[in-house]
Chains A and B, each alone.
Chain A
Amino acid sequence: MKDLAKYTAAEKFVLVALRILIGWHILYEGFAKLLIPNWSAASFLKESKWILEGFSSWIIANQSVLNIVDFLNTWGLILIGLGLILGLFTRIASISGAALLLVYYLNNPPFIGLEYTLPSEGSYLVVSKTLIESMALIVLAVFPSGYFAGIDMLLAGRKNK
């Protein structure tokens, strides 16, 4: 890991800005699910294709499992979003966020031959915005932006004392 002092102001700024923007997006995705009455991942999972298709149908078939998935999904998104915006447990938040987005991606990857009923808002071939956002979070996990600006700074400071 590079010494923190060696990052230029611009490098720090763009990394923190990227973190906050992704955090905002994920936080709102979480709240949107919370605010839609009886929101459920079922309709998304119904569309699942490729390697997670079987797993997704199993989730839908079991109401109790579906309820757990819905709960974890909504609150997972909210916690990850908060973590990214506040710079709190930044690395854990980034890695969990990247993993969650990867699961979304793997449920409906834009591969040739896989057709979805829900139209996407753009044109994708293999790579989608979800995959890119997941990768961006891996970038954030590698660069410790929580220590340039974020509550992690304070936690690290306390640990040192």
Chain B
Amino acid sequence: MATTDNSENKMENSQGGIKRRTLLKALVGVPVLGVFAYELIKKYSYDQEKKARLVKELGLDNLPLPTIVKSSKGSKNDLIRIGIIGYGSRAVSHANGLGFMHPNDVEARTKNNNMADWLAQEDLNVAITGICDVFDLHAENGLATARNTVRAGGAAPSTLPVKRYRTYQEMLDDKDIDAVMIATPDHHHAPISIAAAQAGKHIYCEKAPAHSEEQIIPLYETVRNSKVTYQLGHQITQSVIFQQAREIIKKDILGKITLVETTTNRNTADGAWIRHLDKNGNPKPGDETTIDWNQWLGHTPKVPFSVDRYYNWTKFFAYDIGLIGQLFTHEFDAVNQLLNIGIPKSVMSSGGIYYWKDNREMADTLQCAFEYPNHDLTLLYSAMLANSRSRGRVFMGHDASMELGNAINITVDGSSTKYKKQIEAGLIDPSGPMVSFNPNSGKVDAVTSATEKYYAARGLTTTTINGIQVDVTYLHIKEWIDCIRSGKTPSANIEMAFQEAVTCIMAHKSYVEKRRVEWDPEKRRIV
């Protein structure tokens, strides 16, 4: 290269004037950079000002930042001894949340290089000391998990023995168990919860809390008259974005909300609760010699053992109330935690078995309308098991709508009264989301560029928090453990569980009896 610069350099050595010209040429980029810097600053301040004005106009300028993991208060010295009743796939998440993991999972996650987040999870100072499952294989998994020496949060391996209990009654009778986590098929939830409350054990129970009025009333009374801490297993409201959504509702950004739409959108056999086959199409393990079938059936009608019933119990009304019990429960909790609407005045459900025409009783297409005249609001639930088009969860107000998923997107309504001036002034564009909260950036932000708008509208945003994926189940369990120690009431407490159970039972009754079902608040009865 150096050899190529010839004539000019030679000339510049002889004449000072030309040397200056060379210098000017050499530095031709400098003024360009100056112009660039000026434009960059101008662009940056324009964007900042626009965002700030928008966020301010919407009254979102002083939203508190989400607190992600609060460190637990109270004495952490008292170890809590936990028994897990029902050790299927859901219980695996519970054990992980408690800081325990099966050796095989540890190996697999180490291989995939995704152990760090779990290892960073705070130690809750608990031990799993009991496992109860009617299926030997599942019970063995639970025992291996509870005994594993690899622990989250740098916790020391538990030194307490881990016992397998043949029945839940046996576990509840044991004074060496302080609290139980119930992750059985749904027909056992209420009877076990009632027995646990009577035995003075703290309860973490998966949704749904109960399947009938005959179950929910005694469950509610027993838990309320006991000293146990009851938490219903709804993890999604622990997501940091719910804290922001609550503020947005509180600040009345959306105007008067008269419709909330919630949905389920699935299109797989697994999603339709066909789960008795493994990846190769062979039946999953389990037969009458390894499964205590009578105990599994519990109070439900006696039927011969079937792998289909054992794995696909959701399909049958004896064990579950279908989509309402499995998925609407989460939707209801999400809405009720934000709006505190409680039990509806009336419910109408309709639907049918239109795609998965097997031996199921549960609908695969279901619509439920819940009326709240005292709140001027309708809650809709629309579930679909043969199409996965993402329809989201939307709160619709007169002035704006809020879509609440992995991120929050607020779209101002074109006919809004509150934002009329801003829309006319061109500050607010009602054609796309205007404000989004992406948990990745940890703050509410105005959406200005087309690409940002595009991604925000589709929720294509990553959900890590400060680079660490925080498990929401862990947060929900942590809240329960913290409340056991502090005596406070957790978010998915028995009052919330009662409202949810009654609402779900009403919806189910309406579907089965093909009629509009109402709630009598005075007699506290479904009519």
Listed in ascending order, the chain A residues whose CB lies under 8 Å from chain B are: 1, 3-5, 16, 20, 23-24, 27-28, 31, 35, 37-38, 40, 42-43, 46, 61-63, 67, 82, 85-88, 91, 117-119, 144, 147-154, 156-157, 159-160
B contact residues around A87 at 8 Å (CB): 26, 28-29
Most buried by A among B26, B36, B438, B464: B26
Asked if residues B26 and A154 are in contact (CB atoms below 8 Å), the reply is yes
Asked if residues B32 and A20 are in contact (CB atoms below 8 Å), the reply is yes
Partner of B44, one of A3, A4, A35, A149: A35
Expressed in whole angstroms, the Cα–Cα distance for A156 and B27 within the complex equals 14
Asked if residues B113 and A118 are in contact (CB atoms below 8 Å), the reply is no
Interface secondary structure of A, over-half rule: helix
Least CB distance from B255 to A in Å reads: 29
Asked if residues A149 and B28 are in contact (CB atoms below 8 Å), the reply is yes
Asked if residues A151 and B27 are in contact (CB atoms below 8 Å), the reply is yes
Given contact pairs A38-B441, A85-B32, A144-B1, A117 touches B458 in the complex (Cβ within 8 A): yes
A contact residues around B6 at 8 Å (CB): 3-5
CB nearest to A86 among chain B residues: B29
Asked if residues B22 and A153 are in contact (CB atoms below 8 Å), the reply is yes
CB nearest to A148 among chain B residues: B25
B contact residues around A35 at 8 Å (CB): 44, 47
Asked if residues A156 and B22 are in contact (CB atoms below 8 Å), the reply is no
Tell me if B522 is interfacial: C-beta within 8 Å of chain A.
no
A contact residues around B30 at 8 Å (CB): 86
Asked if residues B4 and A144 are in contact (CB atoms below 8 Å), the reply is yes
Asked if residues A3 and B4 are in contact (CB atoms below 8 Å), the reply is yes
B contact residues around A86 at 8 Å (CB): 29-30, 33
CB nearest to B112 among chain A residues: A61
CB nearest to A24 among chain B residues: B36
Mark interface residues in B455-496 (1 if CB within 8 Å of A CB, else 0).
100101110100100000000000000000000000000000
Expressed in whole angstroms, the Cα–Cα distance for A88 and B25 within the complex equals 12
Asked if residues B4 and A1 are in contact (CB atoms below 8 Å), the reply is yes
Given contact pairs A5-B6, A38-B440, A43-B461, A156 touches B1 in the complex (Cβ within 8 A): yes
Tell me if B156 is interfacial: C-beta within 8 Å of chain A.
no
In B2-28, which residues have CB < 8 Å from any A CB? 2, 4-9, 12, 22-23, 25-28
Asked if residues B2 and A151 are in contact (CB atoms below 8 Å), the reply is no
Expressed in whole angstroms, the Cα–Cα distance for A61 and B7 within the complex equals 55
Expressed in whole angstroms, the Cα–Cα distance for A43 and B460 within the complex equals 7
Asked if residues B1 and A63 are in contact (CB atoms below 8 Å), the reply is no
Asked if residues A160 and B29 are in contact (CB atoms below 8 Å), the reply is no
Asked if residues A149 and B451 are in contact (CB atoms below 8 Å), the reply is no
Given contact pairs A42-B462, A43-B460, A86-B33, A150 touches B28 in the complex (Cβ within 8 A): yes
Asked if residues A85 and B25 are in contact (CB atoms below 8 Å), the reply is no
Expressed in whole angstroms, the Cα–Cα distance for A71 and B462 within the complex equals 17
Asked if residues A37 and B445 are in contact (CB atoms below 8 Å), the reply is yes
Least CB distance from A30 to B in Å reads: 11
Partner of B33, one of A85, A144, A147: A85
B contact residues around A43 at 8 Å (CB): 455, 460-462
Given contact pairs A3-B4, A62-B113, A151 touches B32 in the complex (Cβ within 8 A): no
Asked if residues B36 and A27 are in contact (CB atoms below 8 Å), the reply is yes
CB nearest to B30 among chain A residues: A86
Expressed in whole angstroms, the Cα–Cα distance for A43 and B441 within the complex equals 14
Expressed in whole angstroms, the Cα–Cα distance for A59 and B458 within the complex equals 22
Partner of B4, one of A4, A23, A46, A61: A4
Give 18 new A-B contacts, CB below 8 A, not counting A35-B44, A82-B33, A91-B1: A20-B32, A23-B32, A24-B36, A35-B47, A37-B443, A38-B441, A40-B462, A43-B462, A85-B32, A85-B33, A85-B36, A87-B26, A87-B28, A87-B29, A147-B4, A149-B29, A151-B26, A151-B29
A contact residues around B443 at 8 Å (CB): 37
Given contact pairs A37-B441, A63-B467, A149-B26, A118 touches B454 in the complex (Cβ within 8 A): yes
Most buried by B among A24, A119, A152, A156: A156
Expressed in whole angstroms, the Cα–Cα distance for A117 and B455 within the complex equals 10
